[in-house]
Amino acid sequence: MNTTREQIQSHVFDVIRATVPKLDLDGAFEQKNDITKAVEEELGKAMSMYGYEIVQNADC
């Protein structure tokens, strides 16, 4: 069974894998704030199903 941290990491990687390949390298850097927002939104939706609420970015 996955830990919560592994579930979060998996969702983050899924959003990044779905978003970044559509961009060239410069585009990825230019749109990093948009990518971050997409990760936060999708992660929030996914983790709310497990009873978690994303309230702040954590420095890991």
pTM higher than 0.75: no
Asked if residue 10 lies in contact with residue 21, where contact means CB atoms within 8 angstroms, the answer is no
d(CA 56, CA 40): 9
Which string of b and e fits 38-52 if b means at least 16 CB within 10 Å?
A: ebeebbeebbeeeee
pLDDT digit string, tens, across residues 9-55: 888 898 888 888 888 888 888 888 888 888 888 888 888 888 888 87
Taking only Cα atoms into account, the Rg of the chain, rounded to an integer number of angstroms, comes to: 12
Indicate the SS3 state at residue 19: helix
Rounded distance, CA 50 to CA 29, Å?
32
